Amino acid sequence: MRRLLTVLAAGVPLAAAVYLPTASAESRSSASAPLGCTTASVKALSGTRVESVTAVRQDGGTIHGGGILGGTVTGVPAYCEVTVTLTHPGDGDHAGIRTWLPVTGWNGRLQALGGAAFAAGDNGVGLATAVKNGYAATTTDAGVGDALDVGWALNGQGQVNSALLKNFASRSQHEAAVVGKAVVDAVYGRPASYSYFTGCSTGGRQGYMEAQRYPDDYDGILADAPAVNWDRYELATLWPQVVMNNEKTYVTGCELDAFTAASVNACDTLDGARDGLVNDASRCDFDPRRLIGTKVVCEGRELTITAADAAVVRKIWDGPRTASGRKLWSGVPVGADLKGLAGTAPDADGTLKGAPFQVPAHWTASWVKKDPSFDVSTLTYSRFTELFHQAVAEYGHIMDTDDPDLSAFRESGGKLLTWHGQADQYIPPQGTVDYHRRVVRETGSAKKVDDFYRLFLAPGTDHCGLNGQDGSADGLAALTAWVEHGKAPRTLPATLVNAEGKQLERDLCAYPEVSRYQGHGDPSLATSFRCVLPSRH
């Protein structure tokens, strides 16, 4: 998945990380091969009409992912591909639900896959990986487009297409759960023993939405680096560009990297060991002004970091605030790659200008301003604050997935597992931490929450990084063991990559605990650390 970082650097959005759960847990059961691959009978859900149902036997082999994300999966076994197209009468939409069912070796489970950026579902890579691991798999396109396709945002009258936004926000994910289960039952002749939802970023947001609004859809939900608080965080990710444009200071990528490296070096030993990782980014209080006057060599030129550069970075780390100083949202975490949101590019005469991240730029222009040609570089501090509040007012009720009341999900027996990178350059992990804290307050105690919802923070890990691009963790295996055998994950074993590119083994601690070096042993081994409650900051 290292390729994905290159794609992101080329302008593909934050939520574009393809989620590849590996599910190393043993199969609970194996079904015999389905009798052929015939069209399944699918009953329309309330409020929908089934437009078409097709079934095609696919030979498997090498599967190439579609759209801008691409990707390849090899060694995929033969599978039956059932596609159901739904419409909501009067809305004029056409939402496709694809379900892939292995011809042999089905493990008895259903895995649903979430989307990326403005894509509601998987591009084929996640489906292929799931089938390769023995799962029947399902996903929906919600009737919208690819990861960066926002042409569906407005209708012919220049108004927000509320039907498609509703599909993208929640409606189509629930329908995929119902249809996917029905297809499995029809093809195999029996229902799935367990059903799971997996997703990262946009997919993570969808997972939280499922737990909150449709608590009976899945037995287990793996929702990583979740884009909860969508209406707030999307605008917040424009903040670095707003700062640079208003301060008239554009910091080069080399200088941004120098600030990141210095912060990691300063806060490395918070866990008791110098291992190239910042264990708890929220406790790192490195002051960027310490780098004023530092020389940085960038593409053969020697640059000197200025007070203006440090002021910009300080504002970006701090996060968006109103003109009166009231905090609106978290900033880019210390230790994360600042170039993701504070990107720059030279104009025709070589002068640096801001290069905004496409996802928040598209969201702000097409949905908040309702003008796809709107230039986000024109935003003043005051206008940014106005749009921030406007987005919350207009879209909070449909896009937000921050309802802390998970009582129905808990009562249904569901389990929710999340990991989030401490160095996530696109979605601040503090939003996920804040949500977990509010669930604890709503539920009554951390112990009660631990029974059904656990959060793991990954030091030094970027956006969706444990999906193989910046380390790895088998969250789906931990989730299936929890759901099917009652083995709640006290830790989540992971391979992390530190600032020097070295792989380190760690047992991620269940929040609020953090990893602490025991004072002896190899810092690259998980056994040299233990989970403890963090000391007061």
| Active-site residue list | 201, 424, 463
Reduced to 3 states, what is the DSSP secondary structure of residue 222?
Answer: strand
How is residue 222 written in tokens? 């793996």
Whether the CB-CB separation of 516 and 271 falls below 8 Å is answered with yes
Whether the CB-CB separation of 437 and 368 falls below 8 Å is answered with no
How is residue 375 written in tokens? 């230039």
Q: Kindly tell me the burial class for residue 156, based on how many C-beta atoms sit within 10 Å of its own C-beta (0-12, 13-18, 19 or more).
A: exposed
Interacting residues of 437 by C-beta distance below 8 A, sequence separation 6+: none
Whether the CB-CB separation of 343 and 354 falls below 8 Å is answered with yes
What residue has token string 């015939």?
38
Whether the CB-CB separation of 451 and 445 falls below 8 Å is answered with no
Whether the CB-CB separation of 109 and 196 falls below 8 Å is answered with yes
Going by their DSSP bridges, the two strands 220-224 and 415-421 should be labelled as parallel
E strand map for 8-78? 49-58, 61-64, 72-76
Q: Sign of dihedral through CA atoms 90, 94, 95, 96? A: positive
CA–CA distance, 386 with 252 (Å, rounded to integer): 29
How large is the C-alpha radius of gyration of the chain?
23
Helix (H) or strand (E) holding 86: strand 79-87
How is residue 310 written in tokens? 């440090």
How is residue 521 written in tokens? 């042993």
Q: Sign of dihedral through CA atoms 263, 267, 269, 275? A: negative
Give one DSSP letter per residue of 140-172, joined into a string: E-TT--STT--TTSB-TTSSB-HHHHHIIIIIH
Interacting residues of 3 by C-beta distance below 8 A, sequence separation 6+: 71
Q: Name the residue among 208, 198, 199, 200 with its Cα closest to residue 229.
A: 208
DSSP letter at 466 equals T
